[in-house]
Structure 1
Amino acid sequence: MSLLEIRNLRVEFDTAGGAFHALDGVDYSVEAGEVLAIVGESGSGKSVAMLALMGLLPDTATVSADRMTFEGIDLRTLTAAQRRKVIGKDISMIFQEPIASLNPCFTVSFQLDEVLKTHTDMNRRQRRDRIVELLTAVGIPEPERRMQSFPHQMSGGQCQRVMIAIATACRPKLLIADEPTTALDVTIQKQILDLLTTLQRDHGMGLIMITHDMGVVAETADRVVVQYQGRQMETADVLTLFENPSSPYTKALLSALPENATGDRLPTVADFAETFAAGTAGSTEARR
């Protein structure tokens, strides 16, 4: 049994101009200890899919799926109270832009303590010790002092580490990392990726990595889902995806990598328009 299984996920938003289909029948599955990458350009529905899983989309969104299970539990039938026992504890998410995700009015210690109070039976001293342990694990220097800092007193890389500490505080079975290296310099990106993969490996977590960086995919993923405009173009193990992609869109993505460039100009999706349109139609028919 898969840790997470989602079949035919659809998300529709009610807008002033009518219904907007953000996701159109995508499938995901994640095993314990597996790293799944979801790739695609901005607007392809990567984050929307995971926010739908977390139950964090606004009231204007309509979410439907033929199947949405976590450890065999049907997430579609859970009450709000039941969902709160799973989300944040067994399923956790690292959001984009850590500085915007952390509350500027509260210290790092307060925000970590809030998670532990909600999802564990630890007393105050145990929670403090756990906070120090978490900040040490994610590489925050002088954790006893830094835990009293506010987000604006920390660098972008440190805020990202705090977000990882919050997300892993209750040792989740599934961790979702949404563009975890965005807006970080190259050395910090490498440190954050190493930290995530180490935590995933040490705790046997399933990890979903949302990214548009194919280098990150090659370095971290076991399997890859490729999306375009809310539709699923291809699912493959990482080696097959890079060596023998089946979707014209995936081929376009890989051809646009600077190291794969063969001419004076990087190719674009427009260069693959004819074959890409045919491939998209084929994928849609296959799902139906």
Structure 2
Amino acid sequence: MALLEIENLTVEFDTVDGRFRALDGVSYSIDAGEVLAVVGESGSGKSVAMLAVMGLLANNGHLWADKLEFEGYDLLKLTTKQRRQIIGKDISMIFQEPIASLNPCFTVGAQIDETLKEHTSMGRGERKTRAIELLDSVGMPESKKALKKYPHQMSGGQCQRVMIAMAIACKPKLLIADEPTTALDVTIQKQILDLLLDLQHESGMGLIMITHDMAVVAETADRVIVQYKGKKMEEADVLSLFENPKNPYTRALLSALPENATGDRLPTVSDFHLGDGGAA
């Protein structure tokens, strides 16, 4: 049985101009121990599917699916209380913009403690020890002092490490990383990616990497989902995708990589006249 199964997931949002379909009949799954990359340009619906899984769609969002299951649990039928027992414990998510995702009014230690208090039976002292261990595991310098800091007192890379520490605090079975290296410099990007992969290998959890960076896909993924305008264009193992892409949009993405430049300028997606796309 797959760890997470999504079949024919559609998501729409109410707007002033009517309903906007952000995700259109997307299906895929992930197994324990697998790294799945979901790739596509901004607006392709990559994050929307994961927010639907987490139950975090905005109030104007509506979703339908033939199946949305985690370890056999029907996420469409869970009550709010039942979902809270899974989300943050068995399924965790690292959000974009870590500084914006952390609460500026509470210290790092308080925010990690809240996660542990919600999902474990640890006492206060045990939770503090665990918080220090978590910060140490993500390479946070002076972890004991970091517990007392507020997000604005830390760099972007340090805040990202805090987000990862919170996400892995309860040893999740599935970790969703949404553009985990956005706005970080190249050195920190590699450190974060290496950290996520090390954690994934050590624990055997499933890892969904949401990105528009094909280099990240090549470095991290076992399998790749390519999305465009809310639809799944292609699904393949990472080697097949790079060596023999089937869909025009996938070929457009790969052609836009600097190393594939053949003329005076890089091609863009618009050069491929994709229209609304179509799955391969």
TM-score clears 0.5: yes
Amino acid at match of 1:20: F
Amino acid at match of 1:76: L
Amino acid at match of 1:209: M
Residue aligned with 1:263, SS: coil
Residue aligned with 1:78, SS: coil
| Number of the residue aligned with 1:188 | 188
Amino acid at match of 2:25: G
| Number of the residue aligned with 1:22 | 22
| Number of the residue aligned with 2:241 | 241
| Number of the residue aligned with 1:267 | 267
Amino acid at match of 1:18: G
Q: Does 1:73 align with 2:73?
A: yes
Give the CA deviation at 1:131. Answer: 0.3
- Cα RMSD of the aligned pairs, angstroms, is 1.0
Give the CA deviation at 1:146. Answer: 1.1
Amino acid at match of 2:44: S
| Number of the residue aligned with 1:214 | 214
Distance in 1 of aligned mates of 2:74 and 2:23: 20
Residue aligned with 1:29, SS: strand
Once the two structures are superposed, residues 111-136 of structure 1 have per-residue CA deviations (whole angstroms, 9 ceiling, x without a partner) of: 00000000000001110110010000
Distance in 1 of aligned mates of 2:271 and 2:97: 33
Distance in 2 of aligned mates of 1:211 and 1:175: 14
- 1:1-288 to 2 correspondences below 5 Å: 1-273=1-273, 276-277=274-275, 280-281=277-278, 283=279
Give the CA deviation at 1:55. Answer: 0.4
Distance in 2 of aligned mates of 1:188 and 1:271: 33
Give the CA deviation at 1:141. Answer: 1.1
Once the two structures are superposed, residues 76-124 of structure 1 have per-residue CA deviations (whole angstroms, 9 ceiling, x without a partner) of: 1100000000001000000000000000110000000000000000001
Give the CA deviation at 1:25. Answer: 0.4
- State the percentage of identical aligned residues: 72
Number of aligned residues: 280
TM-score scaled by length of structure 1: 0.96
Amino acid at match of 2:265: R
- Gapped regions of structure 2 (runs ≥ 5): none
Q: Where do 4+ consecutive residues of structure 1 move more than 4 Å?
A: none
TM-score scaled by length of structure 2: 0.98
Give the CA deviation at 1:277. Answer: 4.1
Amino acid at match of 1:27: S
- Gapped regions of structure 1 (runs ≥ 5): none
Give the CA deviation at 1:268. Answer: 1.2
Amino acid at match of 1:171: K
More helix by share: 1
Amino acid at match of 2:222: D
Residue aligned with 2:38, SS: strand
Amino acid at match of 1:85: Q
Distance in 1 of aligned mates of 2:181 and 2:270: 28
